[in-house]
Structure 1
């Protein structure tokens, strides 16, 4: 409909996975390099995670297209299977014949024989599982047992697990620790940054036949903000903006067209662009304090201050989104209405998720969203905002309160989410073959965290290998002595000084309408 008007030969923003429109951002290329490295190491498992729509399928398809011709691939799209069903599906993909009805032993024997024969014929076997966050723990364990088949130099079956961030949490479970130790490469794919969004849009328009710009700079900025940098959402918004621009006969598309398209596609209220709107918001913020924040949270009026005996975690809002909103507000940032980790991208921030001890929380000294168990043993979320004299300042909904050490240890379930500003230009890996400048950078970052003076490095020696291992073990990372992406991110995170600290003096009024000082609203003891 709009192709002729805009000089296009094809629809540039179709969400169908057309290889002709393949665009690999710096992050996609880094993910691809990481996975390729992992497979080249002859390891058993390679892990790729990312939020919905960030391009995991793009990376995996590109990786598969670059595999050598001597590789047999089994691609499994529906992993919600039992152990028996998964092995049967693997046999079907590799065209391995088996008797009906099959048994677990029969399928395992058939697959083992196939892998040995394939290896003897000089061929490799790769299994790719998409949406792997849906795999059951016992199925993952069966996969691990399947990868036990190996020669002196290589695994006979390699597995790529692709999934959403929940897959990372799944692999941290105690019963899967042996599988987690076999992951030779892992990468978490983040959404596109502002410059990548501009390049992505330009690339797709060029492939579709238009070499001249179509989206103004203001439109690209609005597009990044509305989409959070997620390619699939970018496509949806751009497609709708083209239709709207054609209907209005606009030769160039600006921020207004993008915002209107985003409001329609994402079912959100359209952003008001009237000049008085900004002044009204500013005045309201100054006069009414937290009224605008309360409106964006869509929560009831502030919870009245209650005495120590009256406060129970089960009585407070324990929603993860509200806890993330409190974390943004504590940093002095605009409060997101939804998808906080995607929204963080527009603020040049990213989320770090994982499991930690209370000692690690103190070491990091950063506000975070943490998981708690209430009096009914239900999972809840709170914003951890401060620590002083052995007590922890938490916020749940509108209520801030202090939790003493004993009660905190009893309630904290180990889960956390942090906001941080990721550095630009981190390498994918610093190991023995890395440039000397990178090796020296690694030593300079490790030394102060380990309370020692940095050494002048001549290469990646055994002392540095041991220092990396000690750091990885202290942070609950995979201990391999190589500074991969996750290790480098944690080194950068712990070395940065921006943002508020838990140890800062907490004497400000409680946020979001509730004024509770350090001595009031405390919760102590066990139930």
Structure 2
């Protein structure tokens, strides 16, 4: 479903090769990519010939200002030989950027495969990892409601106890939720009832899943309940499946899992070229005049005293249907930049690429409200094909910024209109271009050493030219553990955001409470 959603949102300037069957040799995979991209090659071509053909195609596409993305499904079935060939494909580049972006979609076994020592070089090139987690109790309720609305249903068909039973049976796995709900609705109809009860759910589950009516708990043990994982190689333009970068944001959901820079620029809507790839190197953008304003201070929750969840009687909320957002993502991004004290003279031209020229990078992803709230940053979101900047969130309402106007809307309406895509800004360290790890050196490494010393109240050498070594990796892992991140020892977007938080760097916040 996610892959289909991504393909539907691919911008017109992006060409894709989609490999469904990964049980291929390296030569067969290259040939399949050539076939999808309509690249001519001689019969019986060797790996070198196929690679040369692909390289020539990519150079021509680059000259025509087109992007190329290779998507491989069921990637956990790829052989080590083929994965190594994919690593070599990521070497195809110009002085400005990578010519090919690669997305691997797979089951949790893909993470195990990439962890093999012989694939360490490949793993180090992965700039974004996203995991689809099992749904929690509240998300299941919203998920079922959404599916019913899409189907044209009106009213409440599932009682709260029934949803609790579905959660217990499915363990949050969407495929099982779909099957159980479908059979439960059929059972409710056949019994002449108007609402689904726990008893009907239990019977439906036994018919579908057999005597063992609970999803295997192993799902919760693997990759934090991942029901799938997505890995992006190189700086993917973030076709809003998520990421941060140069294509519209294609959104995907990152969790507190393996952390890396989001490189799939999630299309904030794949209809327009909104956000540039924030993780790949980009040539300097054309000079545009901008004004540096005083950072906007957002109210805190203590000041606003939000109403409890569901109590919206005195909050003066406005229906989302009555609010007009921006038609293009750039205008909403400009609203977001204003919160950082930056105001482009041409609001519609705001982009992640321009933001990078002043040290602000985009990070785009797909997540639930709680996870997005964990970033504690205002975000740009798409609601009903319009763009808004979300600046405040509580249990009953959300505040949306459009130009200089703030609208408070019910959270329930926001959830109904929101697919989970969001883009935030974060302040990058000096010289930052990509995640840093063992063996790296440069201004970003020096900055990392200095910040960790300050955070940990330590003193040590601050001489420029520090090499990212094993000792620094241990410090990074310790910091990641204390801040709720997966301790992979790689300083990527999520790690830098947490460092900025710990370092009290002045930053606009997403005023919100735990939902």
Report the TM-score when normalising by structure 2: 0.48
TM-score (normalizing by structure 1): 0.47
Larger radius of gyration: 1
